[in-house]
Structure 1
Amino acid sequence: MAERACRHCMRLLEGQTCLICGTSDLAEEWSGLVIILDAERSEIAKKLGVDIPDRFALKVR
Structure 2
Amino acid sequence: MADAACRNCYRIVKESDTCPICRSSSLTESWTGYVVILDPKRSKIADKLNVEHPGKYALKVR
TM-score, with structure 1 as normaliser: 0.96
For 2:45, the aligned partner's letter is: I
Alignment of 1:10-29 (within 5 A): 10-14=10-14, 15-29=16-30
Q: How many pairs are equivalent? A: 61
Segments of structure 1 that go 5 or more residues without pairing to the other structure are none
- The 1-side partners of 2:21 and 2:52 are apart by 11
Query: Structure 1 segments of 4 or more deviating over 3 A?
Result: none
- The 2-side partners of 1:50 and 1:38 are apart by 10
Aligned-residue CA RMSD (Å): 0.5
- Aligned to 1:17, the other structure's residue is in SS state coil
What is the match of residue 36 of structure 1?
37
Percent identical among aligned pairs is: 54
Segments of structure 2 that go 5 or more residues without pairing to the other structure are none
What is the match of residue 59 of structure 1?
60
- Aligned to 2:45, the other structure's residue is in SS state helix
Shift of 1:4: 0.1
